[in-house]
């Protein structure tokens, strides 16, 4: 039997000696949490994307929770998002008691379709959570126009899109607040971690408050003495540690190299698959430069996705499927969301397949993936 290569996961972190050293140095420093590395990391991310403020959180989901709090979403409010995303993009609205409304995707970009968003707007709509799915920015110009018309807050879920560009500018300042995740498969990692960037001081202050128990120094507390503080609202402990922030700073220095490699891999895949009739390559919208967090193809309907998925896994190719439409999950079904709600998304999901893409994959490994997939699609003809 032929010898299989090592398992090639769809995504994974790229950690080097510099990353390791920087975490060790922080371990030896006086602050393990709430120290100087957090502020440094927040400033570095804000500078990188060109935003005024950044607030680091313990993970991206907590950061989305903070953004929903800052946006003032509460029971009775409706928030629109896409069904083709990780559950956290919708769950964050449930955490603050809001109602999530799913709008359908565009069949070509796989992102929220602005026309579908408009159809779902009611007097109760309070916010939109567009997702830059796979790293390709959502249609932010159109989405912001809709938001302005209906006085809505926009929270961009940029978990996939740190470093991606929309109309020549990095993602991070198009929406009112933008979230980035630093989970190990994301563009850079802090193991667990997330951040919200914003240009608005009001949101910034609320994000700080919510992250740390709702505790602040008020004029009253300052008058009382240096030990005094006030808990003015119910917050959480959603803080990132200085160890994580130090790792994030070190990773951020390599982000553009990581993005370059991801873009190169996407180009290799695109070139190889564009002549294969059973494979539709992901369309790139003009004026966007994807971060290529995920590389997703559509398989011809005649191909049995499960069979090809299993055959690729048998050959140690870590294919995956992103994502099961969020409202198909039993939690959302139990809330009354019905299958068939977003037909384009559901149809898209049936034929979707995620191929491995991350900075450490070599050209030889990409060739192996390409050749194996092409051979399997030919077999199934
Ligand atoms: C990863 C991810 C999140 C959540 O981020 P965590 O840091 O894992 O909590 C939210 N939305 C999307 C689209 C994601 O991929």
122-137 pLDDT per residue, tens: 999 999 999 999 999 9
Cα angle, residue 288 at apex, residues 285 and 293 outer, rounded to 5°:
95
**Pairing relation of β-strands 169-170 and 153-157?**
unpaired
Percent of the chain with pLDDT over 90: 97
Look at residue 211 and tell me whether its pLDDT is greater than 80. Answer: yes
- Reported as a single tens digit per residue, the pLDDT across 101-128 is 999 999 999 999 999 999 999 999 999 9
Q: Is 61 in the pocket of ligand 1 (CB under 6 A)?
A: yes
Pocket probe for ligand 1: among 90, 183, 296, the residue whose CB has the most ligand atoms within 8 Å is 183
> What DSSP element (H or E) covers 204?
helix 201-211
Percent of the chain with pLDDT over 70: 99
pLDDT score, position 380: 82
- Return the residue whose CA atom lies nearest to atom 2 of ligand 1: 159
- Reported as a single tens digit per residue, the pLDDT across 61-89 is 999 999 999 999 999 999 999 999 999 99
Ligand 1 atom nearest the C-alpha of 293 is 15
Q: Is 89 in the pocket of ligand 1 (CB under 6 A)?
A: yes
How does the average pLDDT of the chain come out, rounded?
97
Q: Is 129 in the pocket of ligand 1 (CB under 6 A)?
A: no
User: What's the whole-number mean pLDDT along residues 246-257?
Assistant: 98
Q: Is 84 in the pocket of ligand 1 (CB under 6 A)?
A: no
Q: How far is the CA of 12 from the centre of ligand 1 (A)?
A: 14
pLDDT score, position 2: 66
Look at residue 1 and tell me whether its pLDDT is greater than 70. Answer: no
Q: What span, in angstroms and rounded, lies between the C-alpha atoms of 312 and 321?
A: 13
Ligand 1 atom nearest the C-alpha of 186 is 1
The whole-model pTM stands at 0.97
- Please report how many Cα atoms fall inside a 13 Å half-sphere around the Cα of residue 332, on the Cβ side: 21
User: What's the whole-number mean pLDDT along residues 192-219?
Assistant: 97
Ligand 1 atom nearest the C-alpha of 59 is 7
pLDDT score, position 235: 98
Pocket probe for ligand 1: among 81, 111, 138, 159, the residue whose CB has the most ligand atoms within 8 Å is 159
25-51 residues labelled b (16+ CB within 10 A) or e (exposed) = ebeeeeeeeebebbeebbeebbebbeb
Look at residue 381 and tell me whether its pLDDT is greater than 90. Answer: no
pLDDT score, position 4: 85
C-alpha distances in angstroms, 56 versus 112, 166, 304? Answer: 26, 23, 43
Indicate the pLDDT class of residue 5, thresholds 50, 70 and 90: confident
User: What's the whole-number mean pLDDT along residues 4-30?
Assistant: 96
- Reported as a single tens digit per residue, the pLDDT across 135-185 is 999 999 999 999 999 999 999 999 999 999 999 999 999 999 999 999 999
């Amino acid at each position: 039997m032929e010898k299989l290569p090592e398992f090639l996961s769809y995504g994974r972190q790229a950690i080097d000696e510099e990353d390791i050293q920087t975490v060790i140095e922080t371990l030896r420093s006086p602050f393990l949490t709430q120290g100087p590395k957090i502020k440094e990391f927040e400033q570095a991310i804000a500078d990188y994307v060109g935003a005024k403020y950044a607030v680091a959180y313990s993970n991206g989901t907590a950061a989305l929770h903070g953004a929903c709090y800052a946006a003032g979403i509460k029971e009775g409010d409706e928030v629109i998002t896409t069904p083709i995303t990780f559950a956290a993009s919708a769950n964050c609205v449930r955490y603050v008691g809001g109602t999530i409304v799913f709008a359908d995707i565009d069949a070509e970009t796989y992102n929220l379709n602005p026309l579908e968003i408009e159809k779902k707007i009611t007097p109760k709509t309070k916010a939109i959570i567009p997702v830059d799915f796979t790293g390709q920015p959502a249609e932010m110009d159109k989405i912001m126009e809709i938001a302005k018309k209906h006085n809505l807050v926009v929270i961009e879920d940029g978990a996939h899109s740190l470093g991606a560009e929309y109309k020549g500018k990095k993602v991070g300042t198009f929406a009112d607040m933008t979230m980035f995740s630093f989970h190990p498969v994301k563009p850079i990692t802090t193991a667990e971690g997330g951040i919200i960037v914003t240009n608005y001081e009001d949101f910034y202050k609320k994000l700080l408050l919510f992250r740390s128990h709702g505790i602040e120094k008020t004029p009253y507390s300052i008058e009382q003495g240096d030990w005094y503080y006030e808990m003015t609202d119910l917050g959480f402990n959603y803080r990132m540690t200085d160890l994580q922030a130090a790792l994030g700073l070190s990773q951020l220095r390599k982000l553009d190299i990581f993005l370059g490699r991801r873009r190169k891999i996407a180009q290799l895949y695109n070139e190889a698959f564009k002549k294969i009739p059973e494979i539709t390559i992901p369309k790139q919208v003009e004026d966007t430069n994807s971060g290529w967090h995920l590389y997703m193809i559509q398989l011809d309907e005649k191909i049995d996705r499960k069979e090809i998925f299993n055959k690729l896994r048998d050959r140690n190719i870590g294919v995956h499927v992103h994502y099961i439409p969020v409202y198909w999950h039993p939690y959302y079904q139990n809330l009354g969301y019905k299958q068939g709600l977003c037909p384009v998304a559901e149809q898209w999901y049936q034929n979707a397949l995620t191929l491995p893409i991350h900075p450490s994959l070599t050209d030889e490994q990409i060739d192996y993936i390409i050749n194996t997939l092409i051979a399997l699609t030919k077999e199934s003809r």
